[in-house]
């Protein structure tokens, strides 16, 4: 078995766009039906978790890191190549010519080495209303967005001059 485990590598399979989940299910069924669980070990669709803040509502969503691609951990033989290549929705392996190129361990690890990202429906220059704190119900213009610290800098007109205020994402809502 030690020899076999050295031959098992991650391969990138190109699919029709939007068919990644169907390809994963169909490939897993084919592996089970053909008794190839020891040769095709895992089928994976790399996704990232992102926090979207839209209309002041925070929700966690998943986005595909590689749309149109599925990762398969397998031993490359004629039989496994045939099973994967002839799965409905698969257009082929990623590699030079007809030869599939395996992913290196560092490339594979880097795909999953991401921390959750935050997506906002607010951009620099947008008019926002402040929801909490000293400046509650004031409106101002976004001058800076700090994604790392999840802060927004807003310029608020007050007493005939402009004041910069630093707020958290959930303390402002975009004015329509």
The CATH code of the domain that includes 101 is: 3.30.70.940
Place of tokens 């996704």: 47
Same-domain status, 112 and 138: no
Same-domain status, 10 and 34: yes
58: its two tokens:
């925070």
What pLDDT sits at residue 149?
80
Range of the structural domain that residue 138 is part of:
122-174
d(CA 23, CA 91): 11
Same-domain status, 63 and 145: no
d(CA 36, CA 80): 8
What pLDDT sits at residue 118?
67
Count of domains forming the chain: 2
Highest mean pLDDT among 48-57, 95-104, 113-122: 95-104
pTM for the full model? 0.63
Mean pLDDT across the chain: 84
Same-domain status, 38 and 57: yes
Q: 49-59: b or e for each residue (b if 16 or more CB lie within 10 Å)?
A: eeeebeebeee
Cα 155 to chain center, whole Å? Answer: 33
**Among 100, 97, 95, 103, residue whose Cα is nearest residue 76:** 100
Mean pLDDT of 14-40: 92
Confidence of residue 56 (pLDDT cuts 50, 70, 90): low
Same-domain status, 73 and 142: no
What pLDDT sits at residue 116?
59
Same-domain status, 162 and 92: no
76 CB-side CA count, 13 A: 13
Mean pLDDT of 157-172: 86
What pLDDT sits at residue 1?
41
What pLDDT sits at residue 47?
85
């Amino acid at each position: 078995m030690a020899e076999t485990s050295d031959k098992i590598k991650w391969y990138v399979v190109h699919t029709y766009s939007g068919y990644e989940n169907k390809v994963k299910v169909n490939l897993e069924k084919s592996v089970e039906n053909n008794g190839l669980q020891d040769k095709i070990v895992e089928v994976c669709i790399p996704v990232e978790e992102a926090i979207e803040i839209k209309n002041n509502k925070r929700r966690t969503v998943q986005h595909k890191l590689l749309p149109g691609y599925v990762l398969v951990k397998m031993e490359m033989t004629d039989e496994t190549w045939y099973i994967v290549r002839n799965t409905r929705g698969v257009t082929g392996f990623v590699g030079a010519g007809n030869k599939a190129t395996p992913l290196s361990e560092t490339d594979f690890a880097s795909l999953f080495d991401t921390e959750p990202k935050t997506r906002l429906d607010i951009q620099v220059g947008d008019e926002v209303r402040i929801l909490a704190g000293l400046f509650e119900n004031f409106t101002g213009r976004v001058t800076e967005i700090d994604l790392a610290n999840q802060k927004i800098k807003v310029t608020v007109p007050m007493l005939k001059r402009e004041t910069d205020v630093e707020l958290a994402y959930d303390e402002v809502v975009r004015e329509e």
